[in-house]
Amino acid sequence: MHQNSHAHSAVARVREALGKKVSRERVGTELEGMMSGPAPVRAVQDIERLRLFPSVFSVPEDSAAELGENYGSPCVAVMAAVDQILQRWQPQTPLSKEERRLALLAALLLPLRKCETSAPKGKNKKVPLAEFIVRESIKWRGKDADAVKALHEEAGHLLNVYASLQAAQASTEETSIRFGKSLQRLGKLGLVQAGFALVPLLGMEPATPLGIDGALAQEVAAQAQQALSTAICDPALQDAPQTQMSRVEVCQELEHGMAAFRLDGCWVWKPLLDGKEIMSAIGLSRGGPKMKQYTDKVTEWQLTHPEGSAQVCRQWLISMFGKQ
């Protein structure tokens, strides 16, 4: 009994020090070393086991009230699941150490993806809680926060793409456009494989969104489970070997879909027509509010005609919009 009391007292002192005495920058530096090391999941599991998770990944008081004290448990479970995927999956383009680190962080914060909090500098602005944690609680770089935000957003888009790939009635053109735009957003950040790895996690019970209305959270979870039902039938079997392999198969299916639509590398494609060429084709003397509409349409055409030429694209553009 005395030993347990002493241990609890020691943890309480560490928790207090993390909250008041140790700088957030120091916390972030130590955490980055753990996440880049040989056993990142074990390190974060130890943080949770010692009940230090809310001190390391601290949140504002209003968010803490919504999340409760145990929000670390589902976060760690989701991170462990993505680590299993990354160990079993062998993508054609292997993840770099940086992409792996960001995939682990994004998975860790995935249950918080729908929760928002007040921006640090006020102005009645809301920001994603996960972004707040990366920027303010662990003081990682701004581009790390941007990467986590992008991965959370694109995982949902890619989930819908995956569902379309499984549906016989899927519109090939529409799916190609949605898939391509998501790949372009992720590819520019070097996070395509990380994005694929997050998709099957959305069907996990621990990934059910925290900090929002319970009914809405369950609806989001049910939609994800439905979209993944062809691959992962029972979310309760989250740690079973067959479930782990099914998650890998979701990643493989997305990778195969990217190849089938010939979208691999679409994030480095140069536009077939630049702004001046678009204006010339449709007879505009100057740009304007509609230029984005035209450039977006050219991008969409290119995503659905990956081997198309600039000349054919120009003819298509003229047939669509004529001379303005």
Task: Tell me: do 212 and 128 sit in the same domain.
Answer: yes
Total Cβ atoms within 10 A of residue 300: 17
270 within some domain: no
Same domain flag for 18 and 134: yes
The answer to whether residue 311 sits within a structural domain is yes
Residues whose CB is less than 8 angstroms from the CB of residue 277 and which lie 6 or more positions away in sequence, other chains included? 310, 314
Q: Which domain holds residue 308?
A: 275-321
Pair (105, 187) in one structural domain = yes
Q: Are residues 247 and 284 in the same domain?
A: no
255 in the same domain as 171: yes
Give me the amino acid identity at 38.
Answer: P
Q: How far is CA 209 from the centre of its chain?
A: 14
For residue 4, what pLDDT is reported? Answer: 54
Q: Which residues contact 157 (CB under 8 A, 6 or more apart)?
A: 178, 181, 182
> What confidence score (pLDDT) does residue 282 get?
85
Whether residues 118 and 149 fall in one domain: yes
Domain identity same for 286 and 247:
no
Report how far residue 120's alpha carbon sits from residue 87's, in angstroms, rounded to the nearest whole number: 37
Residue 123 pLDDT: 65
CB of 232 closer than 8 Å to CB of 202: no
pTM for the whole structure? 0.89
Copy the structure tokens of residue 79: 């991170």
Query: What pLDDT does 7 receive?
Result: 47
Residue 269 in any domain: the answer is no
C-alpha atoms less than 13 angstroms from C-alpha of 168 in its C-beta half-sphere: 0
Residue 51 dihedral angles phi and psi, to the nearest 5°: 60, 35
Query: For 42-81, what is each residue's pLDDT tens digit?
Result: 999 999 999 999 999 999 988 888 898 899 999 999 999 9
Q: What is the pLDDT along the chain (324 residues), one digit of tens a residue?
A: 455 554 455 555 555 555 556 789 999 999 999 998 899 999 999 999 999 999 999 999 888 888 988 999 999 999 999 999 999 999 999 999 999 999 999 999 999 999 999 887 766 788 999 999 999 999 999 999 999 999 999 999 999 999 999 886 566 899 999 999 999 999 999 999 999 999 999 999 999 999 999 999 999 999 998 888 766 655 555 555 567 788 999 999 999 999 999 999 999 999 999 989 998 988 877 767 778 888 999 999 999 999 999 999 999 999 988 765
Separation CA 72–CA 108 (nearest Å): 9
Domain count, the chain: 2
- 296 and 211 share one domain: no
